[in-house]
Amino acid sequence: SDSDSDSDSSALSSSMSIDKLFPALLQCFGIILCGYVAGRTNIITSTQAKGLGNFVSRFALPALLFKNMVLLDFGNVIWPFLWSILVAKVSVFFIVCVLTLIVASPQGRYSKAGLYSIFATQSNDFALGYPIVEALYQSTYPEYLQYIYLVAPVSLMLLNPIGFALCEIQKWKNEGNHQHSKLLIVGLVVLQVLKNPIVFMVIIGIIAHFVLHQTIPAFMAEFLDGLSNSFGGAALFYLGLSMVGQLRRLTRSTVVTLILLLTAKLLLMPLICKDMVDLLDNSNISALNHSSLSNYAFLYGVFPTAPSVAIYAVYYNAELEVVTSGMVISTFLSAPIMYVSAWLLTIRWMDPQLLMNSLQNISFNISIVSLVALVWTIAVMVLSKKFKRLPHMFTVNLFIAQFLLCIGMILWNFVVKEDNFIGQILTFTLLCSSLYSTYMWPGLIALSLVLIKRFEDLKVSPSMLIINLSSCLWLLFNRVPGRLYLELQFFCAIVNYGQGLFSFALFGLDKHLIILPFKKRLYRLWHGKAEEEVPQTADLPEDIRMTCTQFTKYHKDQCLQEIVKKKRCGKRTMVDCFLGCELVNWLQQVGLAQDRGEAVLYGLRLQQGGVLHHIKQEYDFQDSPLYYRLMAKTTKVRLKMFPLIAQFQE
């Protein structure tokens, strides 16, 4: 009956503490952001980050696993749920593996199949997954937290060895002479698994569970608590550190592969997890418990890829671009997917009016924010006079279409509440025409870029066509939409009416109009002098003065000979310069820096001491393909922006 359905829906709503999810997400991703900022600004270098990573993976996490394996209550475990997750992971693993073996080129086929399959199935269960599950179920189903410790070893002890075996086979094939036997490959894979501290401590913890009778001795309790309690914050901070510079590895040829892998990880995995629980878990008499486990399985499937997959890619020197970039993107995509999924699962299913009002409010709110971003972006395009160039003529038209789309959505929010048929028709016409215009203009932009042979500026995203097409196909083949269809509708609203945010991210912060003037003004306010002035040697801090003296006296001549080259500037003039990434490599080769982070800090000290500067005086020293010059003198001078240097094309 309707009353029974309503009571089940309200009970389901109370089974998840959705009000605690947003603070948990904010906590997790806030710590991740702090780690990223620390790594991006070289407060913590890559060498120092490795030390933190070793502490997290070899001390804190093993202590946490051992403690929870000893205290685990196997009597409350719903085993069909674990078998369902196992079947789901195995299914996704072999789907990705087989498709990769079929589609991939013969070069590196087996290593790609192994790493891609691990990428799609190994989740970041402990650092990111556990705090989310704790926020959602601590007050309603606290026993759900222990499933994290039972599910995680499935990938590590069952699926990952298969992926490692494929990578070892690829290494064996690349050697050509086949020195290693197949038995040796099996031994290497087994050793690789047993060396994993997570696997080792899970086995030891299960043994101790029965030996110690589910209790931890007093002399061990404080020690284990100290290590295990340090895991959460340190792991999230290290995750942020590990993200620095990873998106730079992404190339145009790997985009399609990355999209398919993210689809398998963030869409296919949660769907199969949910379906497997619905099929295999028949032990629960209560429909509420069954539904709650099914929803929990879906949320578990959305957990992003673990950072350890990037370590596997480095170890086998294969698919670094796809794995590292995918790890970063999946982490940040998982946050909105988890939040929207959990929120929709708590809405009463039999209340369509509530769903419509929620969808309308989200569309209205995102349209207001997008409208403000578009006003800023259009003003930047006009003031910078970029709208006069051919590609940006079409880009400005796209911005205008997005602007009208937001206006139409805002007007619709008011017109739909009034009994004004003519107004509704006119507003609906504006809404639909501007929406489809935003689909057409990116195609014209791409065509214009092709015609003028500027492929490197192509920034057209197919996500809006794809999401709306998925929504239409879902409704075409499924008459009963379901909660996942509703979730897709919410993402459609965000992507459609939030296009202005993407435009602002790409075009709203013009380098010459906004960033550089703001940077120079901030520098003057902070230091009380112009950025172009090189300080006197006596005014420099001790570490900068010593670095500059050391480099000028012992290494400058060698640097000039090995990396400084003449580059053409204009038609007749040659300029002695080098790339920032070239100096970073050179500093590591000669032993002046242990890693790229320390090399960047070394280059920044040289720039602050006036030994080097950017060719146009626009950037600090960076590990990137930007051009820099070595100064002939380091006395106090004011550097001018000569027209000749301004003509230099980076």
Letter string b/e over residues 146-159, b meaning 16 or more CB atoms within 10 A of that residue's CB = bbbbbbbbbbbbeb
Which pLDDT band, with edges at 50, 70 and 90, does 536 fall under? Answer: low
The pLDDT score that the predictor gives to residue 575 is: 76
**Phi-psi sector, 426: left (phi>0), alpha (psi -120 to 50), beta:** alpha
As a whole number of angstroms, the distance between CA 93 and CA 186 comes to 20
Residue 91 has pLDDT above 90, yes or no: yes
Question: Out of 12-16, 27-31, 230-234, 431-435, which region has the weakest mean confidence (pLDDT)?
Answer: 12-16
Q: Which residue has the tokens 């901030």?
A: 522
The pLDDT score that the predictor gives to residue 242 is: 84
The larger pLDDT score, comparing residue 4 to residue 543, is at 543
Which pLDDT band, with edges at 50, 70 and 90, does 636 fall under? Answer: very low
Residue 570 has pLDDT above 80, yes or no: no
As a whole number of angstroms, the distance between CA 368 and CA 498 comes to 9
As a whole number of angstroms, the distance between CA 263 and CA 66 comes to 34
Q: What are phi and psi of 565, to 5 degrees?
A: -130, 155
Q: Please give the model's pTM, rounded to 2 decimal places.
A: 0.70
The pLDDT score that the predictor gives to residue 529 is: 54
The pLDDT score that the predictor gives to residue 635 is: 40
Looking at residue 529, its amino acid is K
Residue 533 has pLDDT above 60, yes or no: no
Residue 350 has pLDDT above 60, yes or no: no
As a whole number of angstroms, the distance between CA 578 and CA 560 comes to 9
DSSP string, 516-566: HHHHHHHHHHHHSS-TTBPPPGGGS-HHHHHHHHHIIIIIHHHHHHHT-EE
Q: Are 497 and 363 spatial neighbours (Cβ–Cβ below 8 Å)?
A: yes
The pLDDT score that the predictor gives to residue 166 is: 85
Which is it for the CA torsion 406, 410, 413, 418, positive or negative? negative
Which pLDDT band, with edges at 50, 70 and 90, does 90 fall under? Answer: very high
Residues 6 or more apart whose CB falls under 8 angstroms from that of 175 comprise none
DSSP string, 118-143: HHHH-B-IIIIIHHHHHHHHTTT-GG
Domain spans of the chain, in order of start: 13-347, 365-525, 542-630
Which is it for the CA torsion 47, 50, 55, 60, positive or negative? positive
CATH topology for 542-630 is Arc Repressor Mutant, subunit A (1.10.10)
Instruction: Write the CA distances from 163 to 98, 109, 157, 192, integer angstroms.
Output: 12, 12, 11, 11
The pLDDT score that the predictor gives to residue 502 is: 81
Q: Are 377 and 500 spatial neighbours (Cβ–Cβ below 8 Å)?
A: yes
Which pLDDT band, with edges at 50, 70 and 90, does 649 fall under? Answer: very low
Most confident of the ranges 42-46, 182-186, 521-525: 42-46
**Which class for 132: exposed (0-12), middle (13-18), buried (19 or more C-beta within 10 A)?**
buried
Read off the DSSP letter of residue 350: T
Q: Are 495 and 463 spatial neighbours (Cβ–Cβ below 8 Å)?
A: yes
The pLDDT score that the predictor gives to residue 490 is: 75
Percent of the chain at pLDDT exceeding 70: 79
Residue 542 has pLDDT above 90, yes or no: no
CATH topology for 13-347 is Na+/H+ antiporter like fold (1.20.1530)
As a whole number of angstroms, the distance between CA 608 and CA 631 comes to 12
Question: Out of 261-270, 311-320, 607-616, which region has the weakest mean confidence (pLDDT)?
Answer: 311-320
Residue 173 has pLDDT above 70, yes or no: yes
Residues 6 or more apart whose CB falls under 8 angstroms from that of 258 comprise 250, 322, 325, 326, 329
Residue 116 has pLDDT above 90, yes or no: yes
Give the DSSP H or E segment for 569.
strand 565-569
pLDDT (tens digit per residue) in 572-602: 566 788 888 888 889 888 888 887 778 888 8
- Mean pLDDT for all residues in the chain: 78
Closest CA to 442 of 455, 460, 454, 456: 460
Question: Out of 135-139, 276-280, 353-357, which region has the weakest mean confidence (pLDDT)?
Answer: 353-357
Percent of the chain at pLDDT exceeding 90: 8
Q: Which residue has the tokens 């710590």?
A: 31
pLDDT (tens digit per residue) in 6-55: 444 444 444 556 677 788 888 888 999 899 888 877 788 777 888 888 89
Helices (H) and strands (E) in the chain, counts: 30, 4
Q: Are 262 and 120 spatial neighbours (Cβ–Cβ below 8 Å)?
A: no
As a whole number of angstroms, the distance between CA 409 and CA 414 comes to 9
The pLDDT score that the predictor gives to residue 99 is: 92
Q: Which residue has the tokens 């310069």?
A: 577
Q: Which residue has the tokens 């029965």?
A: 210
Closest CA to 59 of 200, 237, 250: 200
Instruction: Write the CA distances from 142 to 15, 123, 136, integer angstroms.
Output: 11, 21, 9
Residue 301 has pLDDT above 80, yes or no: yes
pLDDT (tens digit per residue) in 245-292: 777 767 666 777 888 898 889 888 988 888 888 888 766 555 556 577
As a whole number of angstroms, the distance between CA 534 and CA 544 comes to 13
Give the DSSP H or E segment for 573.
strand 573-579
